[in-house]
C-alpha cells in the first residue's frame, strides 16, 4: 500500500500583518528563523534520507504562516525549490497553508504554475461573530469565495477549524463542521484553541474576558465535529496540535485544553458513543460474556487513553464480563460487541 509522507517547511509568521488573538506563530512553529532557499533545500534533502521505501506519496508542505501573503516573487522562490523535486519525480505534490483572504486568481495562477497540489485554508470558524471576536480580519463570505476559487482551479482543498475561540459554542462548532461538510474539502484539521503566552488571548484569559475550554468540553465539541466530517467522507488529517508544534518552557500553554494525545481522546470518545448502546442491548438481553472488537488501528482507541473506556464500561456494566480484541475485517472507527458464544477470540 502507498504511504503518505510530508516534508514540512516552516515559515514563521512570514507575510502576515494580522493579529489573530490566539496566534503566537513563533511558539506554534517552534522556529524563529525565516528560512532561505538553501535552508529549504537542506531541509528537503535531510527529510528525503529518512523516508521509508513504502512512502511513495511524498509532499513538500509550507506551513507556519500565511504563505500566499508573501510577495509573489518570494512565494515563487520557495516554490521553485519544491518544484525542482516535483519535476524530478522525487516528490508527488506541493502543499501549503494560508488565509482565506490571501486567495485570488493571480495568486492561484502562480501556485498552479509552480505545481502546487494542495491548499489548506485556516478558516477557524464559519461563524462571523467568532471570526470578529478572534480578530481574524475577514468574515465567512471570504471563505466561501476562496474555497470555490481553489476548487475551480483543481487544487486539493484543506480546511482547518479551531474549537473554543472567543464567542464559540457547541452550536457554532457544529455549524462550522456542517458548513465544511457542504464545501466537501479533501481534508480537514481540527485544533482546540490553546492559550499561548504573548497573545491577546492570554490577556483576555487573565482579565476574565475569555474562558478556556475544559478538556472535557474540548473533546465533546471536537468529537461531534469529527463525526460530521467523517460521515461526509472527509479525510481528517489532524486532530489537536502535536507536542513538537509547541515549544514549551513550561509557561507557553495556559488553560487546560492541550493534551499530547488529543486525537486519541476524541476517537476513544467516538468509540464509546458507538459501543455503549450495543453493550446496553446485550446487558438487557441477559448476556454475561461479551467480546468487543475494532480493527488493530483503532484498538488503542477502544481501550482509551489510560484505559479510560475499559474502566468506564467495567463500571457501567458490572454484570458483563467484557473482553477486548481485534477484528481486521472492521473499518476504521467501527466497533462490534458480540456475545462470546458467537465468536472466538
Q: Which residues bind ligand SF4 (CB under 6 A)?
A: 13, 16, 18-20, 23, 25, 65-66, 99, 122
Taking alpha carbons only, the member of 206, 121, 136 closest to residue 168 is 136
Q: 62: part of which helix (H) or strand (E)? A: strand 55-63
* Closest separation in Å from C-beta 101 to ligand SF4: 9
* Closest separation in Å from C-beta 8 to ligand SF4: 16
Pairing of strands 336-339, 289-294: antiparallel
* Closest separation in Å from C-beta 99 to ligand SF4: 5
By beta-carbon proximity to ligand SF4, the closer residue of 122 and 164 is 122
By beta-carbon proximity to ligand SF4, the closer residue of 58 and 204 is 204
Residues 6+ apart with CB under 8 A from 206: none
* Closest separation in Å from C-beta 25 to ligand SF4: 5
* Closest separation in Å from C-beta 41 to ligand SF4: 24
By beta-carbon proximity to ligand SF4, the closer residue of 26 and 310 is 26
Pairing of strands 195-196, 253-254: antiparallel
Rounded distance between C-alpha atoms, residue 113 and residue 175, angstroms: 35
By beta-carbon proximity to ligand SF4, the closer residue of 150 and 228 is 150
* Closest separation in Å from C-beta 12 to ligand SF4: 8
By beta-carbon proximity to ligand SF4, the closer residue of 19 and 148 is 19
* Closest separation in Å from C-beta 152 to ligand SF4: 23
* Closest separation in Å from C-beta 340 to ligand SF4: 51
Residue 143: exposed, middle, or buried by beta-carbon count in 10 A (0-12, 13-18, 19+)? buried
Instruction: Name the DSSP class of 212.
Output: P
Residues 6+ apart with CB under 8 A from 134: 20, 21, 22, 124, 125, 165, 166, 167
Taking alpha carbons only, the member of 158, 160, 7 closest to residue 92 is 7
By beta-carbon proximity to ligand SF4, the closer residue of 66 and 68 is 66
304 and 310 Cβ atoms separated by less than 8 Å? yes
Rounded distance between C-alpha atoms, residue 299 and residue 342, angstroms: 21
By beta-carbon proximity to ligand SF4, the closer residue of 165 and 290 is 165
By beta-carbon proximity to ligand SF4, the closer residue of 83 and 99 is 99
Cell of 165: 475561540
- Torsion of the alpha carbons at 65, 17, 178 and 156, rounded to the nearest 10: -40
By beta-carbon proximity to ligand SF4, the closer residue of 13 and 156 is 13
* Closest separation in Å from C-beta 246 to ligand SF4: 14
Residues 6+ apart with CB under 8 A from 247: 27, 30
Amino acid at each position: 500500500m502507498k504511504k503518505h509522507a510530508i516534508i514540512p517547511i516552516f515559515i514563521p509568521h512570514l507575510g502576515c500583518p494580522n493579529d489573530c488573538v490566539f496566534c503566537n506563530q513563533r511558539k506554534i512553529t517552534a522556529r524563529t528563523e525565516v528560512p532561505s532557499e538553501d535552508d529549504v533545500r537542506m531541509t528537503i534533502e535531510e527529510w528525503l534520507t529518512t523516508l521509508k521505501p513504502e512512502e511513495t506519496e511524498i509532499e513538500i508542505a509550507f506551513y507556519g504562516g500565511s504563505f500566499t501573503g508573501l510577495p509573489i516573487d518570494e512565494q515563487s522562490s520557495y516554490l521553485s525549490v519544491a518544484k525542482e523535486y516535483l519535476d524530478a519525480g522525487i516528490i508527488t505534490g506541493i502543499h501549503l497553508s494560508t488565509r482565506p483572504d490571501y486567495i485570488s486568481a493571480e495568486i492561484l495562477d502562480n501556485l498552479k504554475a509552480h505545481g502546487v497540489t494542495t491548499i489548506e485554508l485556516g478558516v477557524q470558524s464559519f461563524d462571523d461573530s467568532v471570526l470578529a471576536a478572534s480578530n481574524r480580519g475577514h468574515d465567512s463570505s471570504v471563505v466561501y469565495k476562496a474555497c470555490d476559487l481553489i476548487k475551480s482551479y483543481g487544487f486539493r482543498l484543506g480546511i482547518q477549524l479551531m474549537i473554543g475561540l472567543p464567542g464559540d459554542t457547541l452550536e457554532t462548532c457544529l455549524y462550522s463542521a456542517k458548513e465544511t461538510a457542504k464545501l466537501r474539502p479533501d481534508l480537514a484539521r481540527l485544533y482546540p484553541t490553546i492559550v499561548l503566552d504573548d497573545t491577546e488571548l492570554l490577556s483576555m484569559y487573565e482579565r476574565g474576558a475569555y474562558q478556556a475550554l475544559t478538556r472535557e468540553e474540548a473533546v465533546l465539541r471536537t468529537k461531534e465535529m469529527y463525526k460530521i466530517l467523517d460521515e461526509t467522507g472527509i479525510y481528517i488529517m489532524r486532530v489537536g496540535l502535536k507536542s513538537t508544534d509547541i515549544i514549551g518552557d513550561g509557561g507557553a500553554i495556559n488553560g487546560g485544553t492541550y493534551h499530547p494525545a488529543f486525537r486519541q481522546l476524541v476517537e476513544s470518545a467516538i468509540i464509546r458513543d458507538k459501543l455503549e448502546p450495543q453493550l446496553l442491548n446485550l446487558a438487557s438481553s441477559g448476556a454475561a460474556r461479551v467480546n468487543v472488537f475494532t480493527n488493530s488501528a483503532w484498538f488503542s482507541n477502544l481501550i482509551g487513553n489510560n484505559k479510560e473506556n475499559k474502566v468506564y464500561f467495567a463500571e457501567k456494566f458490572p454484570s458483563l464480563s467484557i473482553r477486548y480484541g481485534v477484528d481486521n475485517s472492521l473499518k476504521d472507527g467501527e466497533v462490534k460487541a458480540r456475545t462470546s458464544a458467537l465468536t472466538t477470540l
